[in-house]
Structure 1
Amino acid sequence: MKQIFFLLFLISYPIMSQQVTPKSAFLEKWTNSKEYLLEIAESMPENKYSYAPTEREMDFRNQLLHICGNMLWLSTTYFSEEIFDRKKLSENAPDSKIEVIKLLEKSFDLVYERVQNAKDESLKTEVDFFAGPKSKLQILNLLQDHVTHHRGQLIVYLNLNEIKPPKYVGW
């Protein structure tokens, strides 16, 4: 019996280890994060995209655009050879709900593609960051944390408008 378990371990270990790398874990979580945020963006009626609970906070639309901008900045700067152009992004910011959602989806997909194409060992690479040197793995964590932070705000916006948020999707 022990031999069977050992054989199963030898067969399954390479498969399991491929599914638990930091990159594969991030990509799985990123896909779920995308689907969840798209559901949230869809839940808010277009006429409420300008809603902000206070003057200090961004409205719903600008929260989504801020999320997109951060994703594009971090993925371009740390996972591509391109130069990020914040001015171009802000000048071409979409107005309608459907355009914002398309940009959101495109931004998530671009991050996914760039991270998927990154070599696993490159995540250990230290990069210059405004808050001090960080590894690319820390940049991935920042990408996800930033989305989560603003998504939480958007859930509050939905609740304040008597709109039931979509069911949470985690891992």
Structure 2
Amino acid sequence: MKKAILLFILLFSSVGFSQNETIEVFLEKWKNSKTYLVEIAKAMPEENYSYKPTAREMSFGEQLLHIKGNMDWLGTTYFTSEKFDKKKDEKTYSKDEIISMLEMSFDKVYEVIKNTKSENLKDKVEFFAGPKTKLQILNLLQDHVTHHRGQLIVYLNLNEIKPPSYVGW
């Protein structure tokens, strides 16, 4: 029975989704990821944006800016012909500015991926962890947001702020 289920899963995974459907599924999840992260960002009072549980961790606001920077880097470097300019930004931003920048980064990635040809997801790109496909970079985009979003939920809980209800697919 287990072998039959495994065979079904293998067949479905290789036949069931085209690369184009992969992009559509990613975009649906990406919109929901944006909604969820923005709700988390709004839940933390502005005076707690500098909160960090330990000295070695990023603050709540720094976490959000880190997520934004990663989206900008991966979306630009691996899905456009633009050159990504990673400049060190020392400016302090308000809660509203950070949320606005996050929304713009999510929207930019959305548009870039929406306009990516499905066959390009198989393309290999040079990455610091070795060659990866653009599909792997797409997965990394979401995984990175999810990773840091989980940390932000802990920050809310440590401040006795009830996190927003989970938004998935």
**Alignment partner, residue 150 of structure 2:** 152
Give the secondary-structure state (helix, strand or coil) at the position aligned to 1:107.
helix
Residues 1:26 and 2:50 aligned together = no
Aligned residues: 154
Q: Distance in 2 between matches of 1:28 and 1:118?
A: 15
Alignment of 1:9-158 (within 5 A): 21-87=21-87, 90-91=88-89, 93=91, 95-158=93-156
**Alignment partner, residue 5 of structure 1:** none
Q: Deviations over 1:134-154 (max 9, x none)?
A: 000000000000000000000
Relative to 1, partners in 2 of residues 1:135 and 1:19: Cα closer, same or farther, differing over 3 Å?
closer
- TM-score w.r.t. the length of structure 2 is 0.87
Q: Distance in 2 between matches of 1:81 and 1:99?
A: 27
State the one-letter code of the partner of 1:56. Answer: R
Relative to 1, partners in 2 of residues 1:20 and 1:118: Cα closer, same or farther, differing over 3 Å?
closer
Displacement after TM superposition at 1:91 (Å): 2.6
- TM-score w.r.t. the length of structure 1 is 0.86
**Alignment partner, residue 8 of structure 1:** none
Give the secondary-structure state (helix, strand or coil) at the position aligned to 1:86.
coil
Q: Deviations over 1:3-47 (max 9, x none)?
A: xxxxxxxxxxxxx97897110110000000000000000000000
Displacement after TM superposition at 1:92 (Å): 6.9
Q: Distance in 1 between matches of 2:67 and 2:42?
A: 15
Displacement after TM superposition at 1:56 (Å): 1.1
Contact preservation (8 Å) 2:32, 2:168: yes
Q: Distance in 2 between matches of 1:96 and 1:151?
A: 19
Using the aligned pairs only, state the percent identity: 67
Q: Distance in 1 between matches of 2:129 and 2:18?
A: 32
Relative to 1, partners in 2 of residues 1:93 and 1:65: Cα closer, same or farther, differing over 3 Å?
farther
Q: Distance in 1 between matches of 2:75 and 2:130?
A: 17
Q: Point out the structure with max Rg over C-alpha.
A: 1
Relative to 1, partners in 2 of residues 1:116 and 1:20: Cα closer, same or farther, differing over 3 Å?
closer
Contact preservation (8 Å) 1:65, 1:93: no
Give the secondary-structure state (helix, strand or coil) at the position aligned to 1:35.
helix
